[in-house]
Amino acid sequence: MRKRILLAAGLMIAAMLTGCSTGASNTPQEPAEAQVEAVEEENGQESKDVSGEPVAASKLLEGKKVIYINSNVNDDWNVISTKYLEALVKGAGGECIIYNAEGDSAKQAQMVDDSIAAKPDVLVVKPIDQAAIVPALQRLNEAGIPIITLDMGIFKDADVNILCAIQTDQESLGAINAQYIVDKAKETGKKAKIVTVLGDMSSDLAQMRQRGFNEVIEANAEYAEVLAETESKWDPSQAYTAVKDMMTAHPEADTVFCCADGMGIGALQALNDMGKQIPAGEEGHITFVSIDCDPNGCKGIENGFIDQEAEHNAALHSDIAFKMIVDYVNGYELPEHVFFQTTARNIENVADAWGNLDVKNVSGWGWMEQDAYVMQTAYTE
């Protein structure tokens, strides 16, 4: 029996979502007809009556080629996203080619152009720059190669035909952490003094996270204040220096907002070396909030050094992309977008986070059972 990973993933709604469940399951998915009926209307997913016998799961993408052009493959989020999509495609009998743009938007655009000659059945791309990638995607359109964007979309008015944009609301990743800080300040009566470790600010993703965070803080200025921000390029060594410098310049700082767990390793090490890495509940604890809830983020929560993570689920993105690829090549219509907010993770529910899956065995995960996108193609085990 094919393995399943259970995971609940809500669509974008007015309130922040809570509580995803993860874990191993050997329960097979429902038949495709029942699955389609269960999809919530907010997804925009509509089934198409496509005749044909169910296909063996191991042959769903037989003879098909998928190219995934990632923004980089240097941190846990992107490594796991890449390995998982590759494993899913190969497990369905397809070929998956991976490109690593190494954070360079010009290089990524060139990789898109280079992929045209390979004639993939579907190209998946995680854009670095929403504008810079557009001309290359337009050339993909001209070549008749379908596109799925992952994690970051392109500008709404861009003249590009996209099969589907699969995205976490990046601003919500910052906003939910800011709200945690504000709520804590209201409870304690102590105004939060914050230093922020920013990502690569040439990236739209980094700008959105910063904006989501700062808008909430500015709207609650009586409860929280950002003392300093330092761009750290998603680099843990730069994050280390940034935290030491900001905490030295602002000894009154009692809160750190880190825009990604990949940098969090360095940020936490800086606190440790300064004698400020103190577990929650003990005097002198520095409130620490971050984004991703990757394996390191989960560990930080469990050790008491991270108070909250805004979950940015790498596995969920890739599972949705895989199921969309299967449906597309089998003639089903796809929604224009799947857009979902984050889940707040803390010591109460961190056990359910994607970062606590067996990340060393990505190829053995199998498919997820999740409600953000339900595969329409009928299949047999």
Helices 170-188 and 204-219, interaxial angle, to 10°? 30
CA dist., res. 275 & res. 144, Å (int): 57
CA dist., res. 254 & res. 97, Å (int): 45
CA dist., res. 10 & res. 81, Å (int): 19
And the tokens for 315? 């596995």
Place 76 in a pLDDT band, splitting at 50, 70 and 90: confident
DSSP secondary structure, 295-336, as one string: HHHHHHHHTTS--EEEE--HHHHHHHHHHHHHHHHTT----S
Residue 126 has pLDDT above 90, yes or no: yes
Residue 313 has pLDDT above 60, yes or no: yes
Place 39 in a pLDDT band, splitting at 50, 70 and 90: very low
Max mean pLDDT among 153-157, 202-206, 267-271 falls in: 267-271
Number of H helices, E strands in the chain: 10, 17
Domains of the chain: 4-162+313-380 (3.40.50.2300), 170-311 (3.40.50.2300)
Average pLDDT, the chain: 87
The burial class, CB within 10 Å (0-12 / 13-18 / 19+), for 92 is buried
CA dist., res. 292 & res. 268, Å (int): 15
Q: Which residue has the higher pLDDT, 156 or 335?
A: 335
pTM confidence score: 0.83
Tell me, what DSSP letter sits at residue 350? G
Mean pLDDT check: name the lowest of 29-33, 262-266, 321-325.
29-33
Q: Which residue has the higher pLDDT, 182 or 53?
A: 182
Q: How high is the pLDDT of residue 24? A: 29
Strands (E), the chain: 4-6, 23-25, 55-56, 65-70, 95-100, 122-125, 147-150, 164-168, 192-198, 224-231, 255-258, 287-292, 308-311, 337-340, 343-345, 367-369, 379-380
Residue 33 has pLDDT above 50, yes or no: no
Q: How high is the pLDDT of residue 5? A: 57
Place 103 in a pLDDT band, splitting at 50, 70 and 90: confident
User: What's the length of the chain?
Assistant: 381
